[in-house]
Amino acid sequence: MARWQDRAEVVIIGGGIIGASTAYHLASRGQGDVILVEKDLLAQASTGLSVGGIRQQFSHPANIKLSQESVRIFERFEQEFGVDIKFRQAGYLFLARQEETWRDFLRSVETQQRLGVPVETLLPKEISRRWPYLNVEDIVGGTFGPEDGYADPYLVTMGLAASARKLGVNIEELTKVTRIKTTGSKVRGVETTRGPISCPRVVNAAGPWAADVARMAGLDVPVRPYRRQVFMTAAFDAIPRPVPMIIDQDVSFYLRGADPGLILGMSDPDEPSSFHLHVDREFMEKVVEAATHRVPVLEAARILRGWAGLYEVTPDDNAIIGEIPALRGFYCACGFSGHGFQQGPAVGRILSELIVEGSTDFDLKPFAHDRFADRPEGERKVV
Note the pLDDT of residue 3: 86
Q: How many CB atoms lie within 10 A of CB 340?
A: 25
**45 belongs to a structural domain:** yes
**Please, what is the angle between helix 340-357 and helix 17-28, to 10°?**
40
| Same domain, yes or no: 322 and 369 | yes
Note the pLDDT of residue 352: 98
| Same domain, yes or no: 127 and 253 | yes
Radius of gyration of the chain from its Cα atoms, rounded to whole angstroms: 21
The sign of the torsion formed by the CA atoms of 224, 18, 347, 221 equals positive
Note the pLDDT of residue 74: 98
| Same domain, yes or no: 235 and 218 | no
Q: Single out the residue in 268, 288, 313 at which a domain terminates.
A: 313
The CATH number covering residue 266 comes to 3.30.9.10
**325 belongs to a structural domain:** yes
Classified as helix, coil or strand, 228 is strand
**66 belongs to a structural domain:** no
pLDDT of 375 higher than 90 = no
| Same domain, yes or no: 144 and 269 | yes
CA distance 11 to 330: 10
346 — pLDDT class (breaks 50, 70, 90): very high
| Same domain, yes or no: 137 and 233 | yes
Note the pLDDT of residue 336: 97
Q: Per-residue pLDDT averaged across 65-94, rounded?
A: 97
Domain that holds residue 25: 10-50+154-223+316-374
Q: Per-residue pLDDT averaged across 19-43, rounded?
A: 98
The sign of the torsion formed by the CA atoms of 110, 114, 119, 120 equals positive
Note the pLDDT of residue 165: 98
Q: Single out the residue in 290, 313, 336 at which a domain terminates.
A: 313
| Same domain, yes or no: 242 and 369 | no
Contact 34, 26 (CB under 8 A): yes
| CA geometry: angle 150, 152, 158, nearest 5 deg | 140
**102 belongs to a structural domain:** yes
Note the pLDDT of residue 358: 96
Note the pLDDT of residue 126: 98
Q: Single out the residue in 288, 313, 338 at which a domain terminates.
A: 313
**78 belongs to a structural domain:** no
- H runs (alpha helix) in 76-187: 77-81, 99-114, 124-130, 153-166
Q: Per-residue pLDDT averaged across 255-270, rounded?
A: 95
Lowest mean pLDDT among 63-72, 100-109, 273-282, 368-377: 368-377
Give the model confidence (pLDDT) of 303-337 as tens digits: 999 999 999 999 999 999 999 999 999 999 999 99
Give the model confidence (pLDDT) of 191-240 as tens digits: 999 999 999 999 999 999 999 999 999 999 999 999 999 999 999 999 99
Note the pLDDT of residue 1: 52
Number of domains in the chain: 2
| Same domain, yes or no: 186 and 272 | no
CA distance 383 to 15: 24
Give the model confidence (pLDDT) of 100-157 as tens digits: 999 999 999 999 999 999 999 999 999 999 999 999 999 999 999 999 999 999 999 9
Residue type, 312: E
Tell me which residue of 293, 274, 270, 273 sits closest to 282, measured CA to CA.
270
The CATH number covering residue 33 comes to 3.50.50.60
| Same domain, yes or no: 282 and 212 | no
Question: What percentage of the chain carries pLDDT values higher than 90?
Answer: 97
Give the model confidence (pLDDT) of 3-12 as tens digits: 899 999 999 9
**381 belongs to a structural domain:** no
